[in-house]
A and B are shown apart, each in its own frame.
Chain A
Amino acid sequence: MKEKSHVDDIDRSVYDIRDEEHDAYRIEAGLTPEIVDKISKEKNDPEWMHEFRLKSLEIYNDMKIPDWGPSIEGLDMEHIATYVRPNTKMQGDWKDVPQDIKDTFERLGIPQAERKSLAGVGAQYDSELVYHNVKDEVAAQGVIYTDMESALKGEYADMVHEYFMKLVTPRDHKFAALHGAVWSGGSFVYVPKGVDVSIPLQSYFRLNAKGAGQFEHTLIIVDEGASLHFIEGCSAPKYNVANLHAGCVELFVKKDAKLRYSTIENWSKNMYNLNTKRALVEEGGTIEWVSGSFGSHVSYLYPMSILKGRGSKMEFTGVTFAGEGQNLDTGAKVIHAAPDTSSYMNTRSISKSGGISTFRSSVVVQKNASNAKSAVSCQSLMLDSESRSDTIPAMDIRTKDAAVGHEAKIGSISDDAVFYLMSRGMSEEDARALIVSGFADNVSKELPLEYAVEMNNLIRLEMKGSIG
């Protein structure tokens, strides 16, 4: 009798270390106009932002909870603290960050990565940035990489006002409205015309506080002919109460610019990850998404690209690993709104130990998008029959001058492939391990080496099997 192959859960020991909470300020749980007022006052918002928050709260209260995806019944906003300020101001020198927070980020490898391979780092702890730094040579190119609060009040205030939540408006969905009401932290990046940032910038988001939410806002503008690789990482220790992440990412890719946005998401399994990401791409511009989703209890995550300019391009590469207690609803959306645009989605999903993985995609080709081209490829691997894997792609094509292709495959580890490898001298364990790790290779090969190693650590697969 064939013994079941065993794939271990992701090793979370590094991510699950909790710090004691020494918050400087923790707002009471719940969501009321008074709470939003307090957050706004704490953050010393300009008046327009204060009004924006209150308006967003009204929209939030008017909107219904989505009824088409994984259940979020376990999420009760009455028990979520929407703002937790750590006991430190944002530092520009790593030495000045408090020891316990510093230890956490060092365990996660953030300062080491900054020294080795990054042009700049932002580290957010709960609701606020605790560290932000950009290398001198990158700053000398005119690249702005700062926390959102500084950008909101400093010399880029007008730019922030012009772009903030214009791409993802609070009316987009209920949790976009929530974000508009209580957002805090996140990064602002501006890359001037023609500047090629040759090494990546990274923001890392750590939520340590129990029963809290993190609502960071990332706003990136890559001006004409410029290019950037931005990396986002996130993690949290596990608690027995719900935590919430409802961040928002708005990316503006100008004419002939290029942006690669990579994410390794590793929230704890009590996290509701209701994040919204969107890019607006102008003529000749390119957006590339690389996305690894490993953590959280429930995820709704569909980065969206609007190809507004002629000849703009989008590429999405993703892997989702759903284990015990996880329901990860992930995918991507693209709207072709101009001629000669192209998009390509390539995803892998793995489900095990009762995990549920859903791939959901939307390709819309508008009537004016003549000569648009789109291809979607998604593959799902089921590692046992307790799990579930669904594929829900939608294509809405409104011009005859388009070429749209889609292919999907769901299956288990192929016995033929195992046999083939074993006939060439591999053990069954090695053969199965090779097949599963190769399955997720589409994402790891798109990441910088250090992050590919982190991802491979996340999918630490121990295979055991024999044929009797």
Chain B
Amino acid sequence: MAQDTILHENSVVRLVQTQHTEENAVLYNEIKGECAKGARVELIQVFLGKGDVYSDSRFELSGEKSSLKADIGYIGQHEQKIDINVVANHTGRETESEINAGGALKDASKKIFRGTIDFKRGAVNAVGNEQETVLMLGDDVQNKTIPLILCAEENVVGNHGATIGELDDDTLFYFESRGIDREHAENIMARASIDRLSRMTEDEETQNIISDGLKEVLGYDE
């Protein structure tokens, strides 16, 4: 599956992908985008399937004040492999990128997330942020997170952060003090990372698809 997108001046594209691969299926997903002055890409990706996923998204922020906002969610299960790569190349002045990834890994699933914010020379006053939050639920899960910031321009601000682990004690205490056990609390938090994206789609049909996928993966219907 491949998607090439060229955004002309001040145009906005919202690309929503919900993917539900069957067990033993392999999904290759490639997105390329190029943004002219003032153009904006909003990418929402939800990976809820059982098959392996290889997703590569690259965006050229070449026009002044062009921007990217990428929100990515996943639930890994069984022995699934999820490999996600997102690249934001900042060449234009005052360009912005924001990459947020998050999800949960169950069973023996494996996930790699690589996010690259590349400030090329000339990307004056560009801003790039990326963040990933991974909830580790399975005894045999493997998580790799590689958030890169490459910088050849002085006047930029780049931040990245990552939080990886199980539910922290404070959150767990909060849930347990309200009668919600650990398993249910983990389920709520895993669901929340996807529900956030579902709401962002602002499309009822898509929200129903995501909701059905969540029921299948997490087994609860909140």
Partner of B142, one of A384, A398, A410: A398
Tell me the complex Cα distance, A367–B141, Å: 9
Task: Identify the stretch in A186-194, A399-407, A445-453 within 8 Å (CB) of chain B at 4 or more residues.
Answer: A399-407
Nearest-neighbor residue (CB-CB) of A410 within chain B? B158
Within 8 A of B (CB), among A389-423: 389-412
B187 within 8 A of A: no
Contact B149 A391 (CB under 8 A): yes
Contact A388 B147 (CB under 8 A): no
Contact B144 A390 (CB under 8 A): no
Instruction: Count residues on chain B whose CB falls below 8 Å from chain A CBs.
Output: 35
Contact B154 A383 (CB under 8 A): yes
Contact A411 B162 (CB under 8 A): no
Tell me the complex Cα distance, A432–B139, Å: 50
Residues of A with C-beta under 8 A to B141:
398, 400
Tell me the complex Cα distance, A404–B144, Å: 11
Within 8 A of B (CB), among A366-389: 367, 380, 382-385, 387-389
Tell me the complex Cα distance, A398–B142, Å: 4
Contact B164 A397 (CB under 8 A): yes
Residues of B with C-beta under 8 A to A385:
121, 152-155
Nearest-neighbor residue (CB-CB) of B161 within chain A? A407
Contact A402 B146 (CB under 8 A): no
Size category of the binding interface on chain A: 20 to 34
Contact A402 B136 (CB under 8 A): yes
- B-contacting residues of A (Cβ < 8 Å)? 367, 380, 382-385, 387-412
The 23 sampled A-B contact pairs (Cβ below 8 Å) are: A382-B151, A385-B121, A385-B152, A388-B150, A391-B148, A391-B149, A391-B151, A391-B158, A395-B164, A398-B141, A400-B138, A401-B136, A401-B166, A402-B164, A403-B165, A403-B166, A404-B162, A406-B147, A408-B158, A409-B158, A410-B149, A410-B159, A411-B156
- A-contacting residues of B (Cβ < 8 Å)? 119, 121, 134, 136-166, 168
The 7 closest A-B pairs by CB, nearest first: A400-B136, A403-B165, A410-B158, A404-B164, A406-B162, A385-B154, A382-B154
Known: A382-B156, A398-B141, A401-B136. 16 other contacts (CB 8 A): A384-B154, A385-B154, A388-B150, A388-B151, A390-B150, A391-B158, A394-B145, A394-B146, A395-B143, A395-B144, A395-B164, A397-B142, A402-B136, A408-B161, A410-B119, A412-B155
